[in-house]
Amino acid sequence: MNQAQLKEFLDEKVALYLQPKFITEDPISIPHSFDKKEDIEISAFLCATIAWGRRPMIMKNAHRMMEIMEGSPYDFIMNAGSKEIENTLNFCHRTFQGVDFQTFILALRNIYKNHQGLEACFFTNKEDLSEGISNFKKVFFSIEHPLRTEKHVSDPLKGSAAKRLIMFLRWMVRTDKEGVDFGLWKSLKPNQLSCPLDVHTANVGRKLGLIQRKANDWKTVKELDIHLRKFCPEDPAKYDFALFGLGVYEKF
């Protein structure tokens, strides 16, 4: 396919997979159960944090997170007492242990009490969000914390593809008429977003000639960006739906 044909092909796949029916078994379905901005963004951030591994297990444990927070993430973050916070120690998703969940709760409390909330911590005027993500990590871990928990927040300035944070930002920043992504955050723009790079999007990207690099790191995210921004400079992350759908549903 030439570039025009490839764009047409991917746009068709975006239209096919950018549909609410495809999110019922996806972690994004959990923040869709809330109405309050803070509940949506907190639940989205936590669900995105554990979004690796088998999807049924991700969904099970994401629901468990919400249960531990008594179905009110923002209220729990701001007002839970020591006994309630101690209950987070019973949580486990693969290498994300209870001590990590507890640290995340306390870090989020600090962010909402002292740093104007999650959105403010990601703000950047740069073309992409690598600087904003790196700044967020610094703020997030400005409280006392176990060193082990730092591995659960990636930093693209250190080379990480930061797939889960890029996905979370897609959820928060993109707006679409189908109502899949939330478009809650207005201080950031869709043209700053990148496509989340996981095993599916990376493999499909290579098969389509959009990626040449073999590693799944930040340089590869930017390599993919070059092509996707040519196809749709105002909303390059929309092609996540096409690449992911091709990989998961069509085994492309």
What was the pLDDT predicted at 173?
Answer: 98
What was the pLDDT predicted at 25?
Answer: 87
pLDDT tens string 4-47: 999 999 999 999 999 999 988 899 999 999 999 999 999 999 99
| Mean pLDDT for the stretch of residues 62-90 | 96
CB atoms within 10 A of CB 251: 8
Burial class (CB in 10 A: 0-12, 13-18, 19+), 228: buried
| Mean pLDDT for the stretch of residues 108-136 | 96
Are the C-beta atoms of residues 228 and 239 closer than 8 Å to each other? yes
Q: Tell which phi-psi region holds residue 117, choosing left (phi > 0), alpha (psi between -120 and 50) or beta.
A: left
Q: What is the end-to-end Cα distance of the chain in Å, rounded?
A: 15
Tell whether the model's pLDDT for residue 251 goes beyond 90: no
- Closest by CA to 170, choosing from 20, 48, 56, is 48
Q: For residue 104, what pLDDT band results from cuts at 50, 70 and 90?
A: very high
Q: Report domain extents, the chain.
A: 3-248
Q: What's the predicted TM-score (pTM) here?
A: 0.96
pLDDT tens string 139-191: 999 999 999 999 999 999 999 999 999 999 999 999 999 999 999 999 999 99
Are the C-beta atoms of residues 236 and 197 closer than 8 Å to each other? no
User: Taking all residues of the chain, what is their mean pLDDT, rounded to a whole number?
Assistant: 96
